[in-house]
Amino acid sequence: MKKRILLLATGGTIASQPTEEGLAPGLDGAALASLLPESVLARYEVTVRDILRLDSSNIQPEEWQLIARRVFEAREDYDGIVITHGTDTMAYTASILSVMVRGIPIPVVLTGAQLPIEHPLSDGEENLRLALAMAESGVGGVFVAFDRKVILGTRAVKTRTTGFDAFESVNWPYVAQVSGNGLNLNDGALPARSESPCVLRDALSPRVFLMKLTPGVDPELFDMLLQMHYRGIVIEAFGAGGLHFVRRDLVAKLQAAAQAGVSVVVCSQCLYEPSNFSVYEVGRRALEQGVIQGLDMTTEAAVTKLMWALGQTEDPAEVRRYFQRCLAGEVALS
Protein backbone atom coordinates (compact mmCIF):
# COMPACT_ATOMS: atom_id res chain seq x y z
CA MET A 1 0.00 0.00 0.00
CA LYS A 2 1.37 3.42 -0.95
CA LYS A 3 2.35 5.75 1.87
CA ARG A 4 0.29 8.92 2.08
CA ILE A 5 2.62 11.93 2.01
CA LEU A 6 1.58 15.55 2.43
CA LEU A 7 3.79 18.09 0.67
CA LEU A 8 3.54 21.57 2.23
CA ALA A 9 5.15 24.23 0.04
CA THR A 10 6.43 27.47 1.60
CA GLY A 11 8.63 28.89 -1.17
CA GLY A 12 12.41 29.19 -0.86
CA THR A 13 15.19 28.78 -3.40
CA ILE A 14 13.93 25.37 -4.50
CA ALA A 15 10.78 27.08 -5.86
CA SER A 16 12.47 30.24 -7.11
CA GLN A 17 12.56 31.63 -10.64
CA PRO A 18 14.50 34.55 -12.14
CA THR A 19 12.85 37.98 -11.99
CA GLU A 20 14.08 41.46 -12.82
CA GLU A 21 14.86 41.92 -9.14
CA GLY A 22 16.61 38.58 -8.66
CA LEU A 23 15.48 35.09 -7.69
CA ALA A 24 12.08 34.92 -6.00
CA PRO A 25 9.74 32.02 -5.16
CA GLY A 26 7.55 31.41 -8.19
CA LEU A 27 6.68 27.71 -8.40
CA ASP A 28 3.85 26.26 -6.38
CA GLY A 29 3.95 22.86 -4.73
CA ALA A 30 2.25 21.10 -7.63
CA ALA A 31 4.91 22.42 -10.02
CA LEU A 32 7.66 21.20 -7.69
CA ALA A 33 6.14 17.74 -7.49
CA SER A 34 5.64 17.58 -11.25
CA LEU A 35 9.39 17.93 -11.78
CA LEU A 36 10.09 14.69 -9.94
CA PRO A 37 10.51 11.51 -12.03
CA GLU A 38 7.33 9.54 -12.57
CA SER A 39 8.98 6.53 -10.95
CA VAL A 40 9.34 8.52 -7.72
CA LEU A 41 5.80 9.91 -7.71
CA ALA A 42 4.39 6.44 -8.42
CA ARG A 43 5.83 5.22 -5.12
CA TYR A 44 3.69 7.53 -2.96
CA GLU A 45 0.22 8.97 -2.71
CA VAL A 46 1.19 12.64 -2.59
CA THR A 47 -1.11 15.49 -1.62
CA VAL A 48 0.20 19.01 -2.26
CA ARG A 49 -0.80 22.13 -0.34
CA ASP A 50 0.61 25.62 -0.74
CA ILE A 51 0.71 27.48 2.55
CA LEU A 52 3.32 30.18 1.85
CA ARG A 53 5.40 31.49 -1.03
CA LEU A 54 8.25 33.27 0.71
CA ASP A 55 11.99 33.59 0.70
CA SER A 56 12.85 32.00 4.06
CA SER A 57 14.40 35.27 5.24
CA ASN A 58 10.79 36.42 5.56
CA ILE A 59 9.64 33.36 7.53
CA GLN A 60 9.18 34.62 11.07
CA PRO A 61 7.38 33.51 14.26
CA GLU A 62 3.94 34.10 12.75
CA GLU A 63 4.81 31.78 9.84
CA TRP A 64 6.17 29.16 12.28
CA GLN A 65 2.79 29.10 13.98
CA LEU A 66 0.99 28.71 10.65
CA ILE A 67 3.26 25.83 9.58
CA ALA A 68 2.93 24.11 12.97
CA ARG A 69 -0.87 24.29 12.81
CA ARG A 70 -0.94 22.80 9.31
CA VAL A 71 1.38 19.99 10.41
CA PHE A 72 -0.64 19.27 13.54
CA GLU A 73 -3.95 19.24 11.66
CA ALA A 74 -2.58 16.69 9.15
CA ARG A 75 -0.84 14.33 11.58
CA GLU A 76 -3.59 11.68 11.59
CA ASP A 77 -4.37 11.73 7.87
CA TYR A 78 -0.87 11.12 6.48
CA ASP A 79 2.07 8.77 7.00
CA GLY A 80 4.56 11.61 6.65
CA ILE A 81 4.88 15.30 5.84
CA VAL A 82 7.46 17.03 3.64
CA ILE A 83 7.92 20.80 3.92
CA THR A 84 9.79 22.62 1.16
CA HIS A 85 11.48 25.64 2.68
CA GLY A 86 14.26 28.13 2.01
CA THR A 87 17.62 27.18 3.47
CA ASP A 88 18.51 30.42 5.26
CA THR A 89 16.12 29.95 8.20
CA MET A 90 15.32 26.26 7.79
CA ALA A 91 17.23 25.32 10.95
CA TYR A 92 15.18 27.79 13.00
CA THR A 93 11.90 26.46 11.59
CA ALA A 94 12.95 22.85 12.20
CA SER A 95 13.93 23.64 15.81
CA ILE A 96 10.72 25.49 16.70
CA LEU A 97 8.50 22.87 15.03
CA SER A 98 10.25 20.22 17.11
CA VAL A 99 8.83 21.71 20.31
CA MET A 100 5.55 23.07 18.92
CA VAL A 101 4.47 19.59 17.75
CA ARG A 102 6.61 17.63 20.19
CA GLY A 103 5.85 13.91 20.12
CA ILE A 104 4.36 13.93 16.63
CA PRO A 105 4.09 10.26 15.62
CA ILE A 106 4.94 10.71 11.93
CA PRO A 107 8.04 12.07 10.15
CA VAL A 108 7.99 15.80 9.40
CA VAL A 109 10.84 16.50 6.97
CA LEU A 110 12.07 19.92 5.87
CA THR A 111 14.07 20.24 2.68
CA GLY A 112 15.02 22.76 0.04
CA ALA A 113 17.82 23.51 -2.39
CA GLN A 114 20.83 25.69 -3.04
CA LEU A 115 19.79 26.09 -6.70
CA PRO A 116 16.22 26.41 -8.01
CA ILE A 117 14.78 23.06 -9.01
CA GLU A 118 14.38 24.26 -12.61
CA HIS A 119 18.14 24.89 -12.89
CA PRO A 120 19.82 22.06 -14.83
CA LEU A 121 22.38 21.52 -12.04
CA SER A 122 19.96 21.90 -9.12
CA ASP A 123 20.19 19.79 -5.99
CA GLY A 124 16.46 20.28 -5.46
CA GLU A 125 15.22 17.04 -7.02
CA GLU A 126 17.68 14.90 -5.06
CA ASN A 127 16.82 16.62 -1.78
CA LEU A 128 13.10 16.25 -2.42
CA ARG A 129 13.52 12.54 -3.17
CA LEU A 130 15.43 12.13 0.09
CA ALA A 131 12.75 13.98 2.05
CA LEU A 132 10.04 11.73 0.61
CA ALA A 133 12.06 8.63 1.55
CA MET A 134 12.44 9.88 5.12
CA ALA A 135 8.75 10.81 5.24
CA GLU A 136 7.80 7.19 4.55
CA SER A 137 10.15 5.82 7.22
CA GLY A 138 7.58 5.79 10.01
CA VAL A 139 9.98 7.54 12.41
CA GLY A 140 8.19 10.28 14.31
CA GLY A 141 9.86 13.64 14.76
CA VAL A 142 11.06 16.70 12.87
CA PHE A 143 14.03 16.39 10.51
CA VAL A 144 16.08 18.25 7.89
CA ALA A 145 16.91 16.27 4.74
CA PHE A 146 19.73 17.65 2.61
CA ASP A 147 22.61 16.34 0.48
CA ARG A 148 21.89 12.65 1.14
CA LYS A 149 21.85 13.17 4.91
CA VAL A 150 19.00 13.47 7.43
CA ILE A 151 19.51 15.62 10.53
CA LEU A 152 17.46 15.84 13.71
CA GLY A 153 15.52 19.11 13.53
CA THR A 154 17.03 20.58 16.69
CA ARG A 155 20.60 19.80 15.60
CA ALA A 156 20.69 21.26 12.10
CA VAL A 157 22.85 24.30 11.33
CA LYS A 158 23.41 25.89 7.94
CA THR A 159 27.18 26.13 7.53
CA ARG A 160 27.60 26.92 3.82
CA THR A 161 26.06 29.62 1.65
CA THR A 162 26.36 27.91 -1.74
CA GLY A 163 27.73 24.39 -1.24
CA PHE A 164 25.27 21.55 -1.69
CA ASP A 165 26.39 20.11 1.68
CA ALA A 166 24.82 23.17 3.28
CA PHE A 167 23.82 21.70 6.64
CA GLU A 168 25.72 20.04 9.46
CA SER A 169 24.41 17.97 12.33
CA VAL A 170 26.00 19.68 15.33
CA ASN A 171 26.90 17.62 18.41
CA TRP A 172 24.67 14.79 17.21
CA PRO A 173 25.09 11.97 14.67
CA TYR A 174 23.13 11.95 11.44
CA VAL A 175 19.69 10.38 11.76
CA ALA A 176 20.10 8.75 8.35
CA GLN A 177 22.39 8.73 5.33
CA VAL A 178 22.02 7.49 1.78
CA SER A 179 24.33 4.84 0.35
CA GLY A 180 24.19 2.01 -2.15
CA ASN A 181 21.96 0.27 0.39
CA GLY A 182 19.38 3.04 0.26
CA LEU A 183 18.30 5.10 3.26
CA ASN A 184 20.23 3.89 6.30
CA LEU A 185 18.64 4.90 9.60
CA ASN A 186 20.88 5.32 12.65
CA ASP A 187 18.81 3.95 15.52
CA GLY A 188 21.08 5.56 18.12
CA ALA A 189 20.41 9.03 16.70
CA LEU A 190 16.65 8.73 16.44
CA PRO A 191 14.50 10.72 18.87
CA ALA A 192 12.91 8.80 21.74
CA ARG A 193 9.29 7.91 21.08
CA SER A 194 6.92 9.99 23.13
CA GLU A 195 4.57 8.18 25.47
CA SER A 196 2.23 11.19 25.49
CA PRO A 197 -0.06 12.20 22.63
CA CYS A 198 1.08 15.05 20.43
CA VAL A 199 -0.39 18.36 21.54
CA LEU A 200 -0.04 21.59 19.58
CA ARG A 201 1.76 24.16 21.72
CA ASP A 202 2.42 27.01 19.34
CA ALA A 203 2.41 30.00 21.70
CA LEU A 204 5.70 31.86 21.65
CA SER A 205 7.29 35.21 22.38
CA PRO A 206 9.37 36.90 19.67
CA ARG A 207 10.86 39.22 22.33
CA VAL A 208 14.17 37.33 22.35
CA PHE A 209 17.46 38.98 21.38
CA LEU A 210 20.54 37.11 20.17
CA MET A 211 23.91 38.71 20.89
CA LYS A 212 27.31 37.50 19.77
CA LEU A 213 29.83 38.62 22.36
CA THR A 214 32.86 40.55 21.11
CA PRO A 215 35.81 41.83 23.16
CA GLY A 216 34.90 45.21 24.64
CA VAL A 217 31.15 45.14 24.01
CA ASP A 218 29.45 47.85 26.06
CA PRO A 219 27.38 46.41 28.96
CA GLU A 220 24.89 49.27 28.53
CA LEU A 221 23.50 47.28 25.63
CA PHE A 222 21.63 45.26 28.26
CA ASP A 223 20.02 48.44 29.60
CA MET A 224 18.73 49.17 26.11
CA LEU A 225 17.31 45.65 25.75
CA LEU A 226 15.47 46.01 29.06
CA GLN A 227 14.04 49.36 27.94
CA MET A 228 12.84 47.68 24.74
CA HIS A 229 10.98 45.09 26.84
CA TYR A 230 12.87 42.04 25.67
CA ARG A 231 11.93 39.02 27.75
CA GLY A 232 14.82 36.76 26.78
CA ILE A 233 18.44 37.10 25.70
CA VAL A 234 20.68 34.47 24.13
CA ILE A 235 24.39 35.24 24.34
CA GLU A 236 27.02 33.51 22.23
CA ALA A 237 29.90 33.70 24.70
CA PHE A 238 33.59 32.95 24.25
CA GLY A 239 34.87 29.37 24.34
CA ALA A 240 33.40 27.28 27.13
CA GLY A 241 31.43 30.27 28.38
CA GLY A 242 33.60 33.32 28.92
CA LEU A 243 32.18 36.83 29.48
CA HIS A 244 34.34 39.82 30.34
CA PHE A 245 33.89 41.62 33.68
CA VAL A 246 37.08 43.72 33.90
CA ARG A 247 36.43 47.40 33.00
CA ARG A 248 33.21 46.48 31.21
CA ASP A 249 31.25 44.37 33.66
CA LEU A 250 28.83 42.20 31.74
CA VAL A 251 28.24 39.95 34.74
CA ALA A 252 26.73 42.81 36.76
CA LYS A 253 24.33 43.51 33.90
CA LEU A 254 23.30 39.86 33.87
CA GLN A 255 22.30 40.27 37.50
CA ALA A 256 20.20 43.34 36.64
CA ALA A 257 18.54 41.44 33.80
CA ALA A 258 17.72 38.52 36.09
CA GLN A 259 16.24 40.88 38.68
CA ALA A 260 14.07 42.38 35.93
CA GLY A 261 12.70 38.92 35.11
CA VAL A 262 14.61 38.49 31.85
CA SER A 263 15.76 34.95 31.05
CA VAL A 264 19.35 34.81 29.79
CA VAL A 265 20.69 31.73 28.00
CA VAL A 266 24.41 31.57 27.29
CA CYS A 267 25.86 29.30 24.60
CA SER A 268 29.32 29.06 23.08
CA GLN A 269 30.46 30.74 19.87
CA CYS A 270 32.21 27.44 19.12
CA LEU A 271 30.03 25.32 16.86
CA TYR A 272 31.00 22.01 18.40
CA GLU A 273 31.15 20.65 21.96
CA PRO A 274 29.32 22.05 25.00
CA SER A 275 29.74 25.18 27.05
CA ASN A 276 30.70 24.61 30.69
CA PHE A 277 30.44 27.56 33.05
CA SER A 278 31.90 25.69 35.99
CA VAL A 279 35.43 25.67 34.53
CA TYR A 280 36.52 29.33 34.72
CA GLU A 281 35.99 32.15 37.17
CA VAL A 282 34.04 34.23 34.64
CA GLY A 283 31.65 31.37 34.00
CA ARG A 284 31.05 30.73 37.67
CA ARG A 285 30.29 34.41 38.21
CA ALA A 286 27.71 34.24 35.45
CA LEU A 287 26.10 31.15 36.97
CA GLU A 288 25.82 32.98 40.28
CA GLN A 289 23.74 35.64 38.51
CA GLY A 290 21.26 33.07 37.25
CA VAL A 291 22.21 32.55 33.61
CA ILE A 292 20.95 29.40 31.93
CA GLN A 293 23.61 27.20 30.34
CA GLY A 294 23.02 26.30 26.72
CA LEU A 295 25.43 23.36 26.99
CA ASP A 296 25.69 21.70 23.54
CA MET A 297 22.61 23.32 22.01
CA THR A 298 22.87 25.06 18.67
CA THR A 299 22.18 28.78 18.64
CA GLU A 300 19.08 28.14 16.53
CA ALA A 301 17.74 25.64 19.06
CA ALA A 302 18.52 27.91 22.02
CA VAL A 303 16.81 30.94 20.47
CA THR A 304 13.69 29.07 19.40
CA LYS A 305 13.40 27.08 22.62
CA LEU A 306 13.59 30.33 24.60
CA MET A 307 10.92 31.95 22.39
CA TRP A 308 8.74 28.89 22.88
CA ALA A 309 9.32 28.65 26.65
CA LEU A 310 8.43 32.33 27.06
CA GLY A 311 5.23 31.61 25.17
CA GLN A 312 4.32 28.94 27.70
CA THR A 313 5.02 30.89 30.88
CA GLU A 314 5.91 34.31 32.27
CA ASP A 315 7.71 32.74 35.23
CA PRO A 316 11.54 32.83 34.77
CA ALA A 317 11.86 29.87 37.14
CA GLU A 318 9.60 27.82 34.89
CA VAL A 319 11.60 28.90 31.84
CA ARG A 320 14.72 27.63 33.59
CA ARG A 321 13.01 24.31 34.25
CA TYR A 322 12.25 23.94 30.54
CA PHE A 323 15.97 24.35 29.86
CA GLN A 324 16.78 21.71 32.43
CA ARG A 325 14.89 19.19 30.28
CA CYS A 326 15.60 17.81 26.84
CA LEU A 327 12.36 18.23 24.91
CA ALA A 328 13.24 17.15 21.37
CA GLY A 329 16.85 16.00 21.30
CA GLU A 330 18.14 19.57 21.42
CA VAL A 331 20.53 19.14 24.36
CA ALA A 332 22.57 16.45 26.08
CA LEU A 333 22.11 16.85 29.81
CA SER A 334 24.80 15.58 32.14
Q: Is 25 helix (H, G, I), strand (E, B) or coil?
A: strand
DSSP 15: G
Distance of CA 280 to the CA centre of its chain: 30
Residue 153 and residue 151: Cα distance in Å, rounded? 6
Please answer whether residues 115 and 141 qualify as being in contact, where contact means their C-beta atoms are separated by less than 8 angstroms.
no
Out of 13, 87, 89, 93, the active site residue is 13
Catalytic (active site) residue 13: yes
Write out the DSSP string of 289-326: TTPEE-TT--HHHHHHHHHHHHHH-S-HHHHHHHHTS-
Widest pairwise Cα distance in the chain: 68
Torsion angle of alpha carbons 231, 235, 328, 73, nearest 10°? 50
* Residues annotated catalytic, as ranges: 13
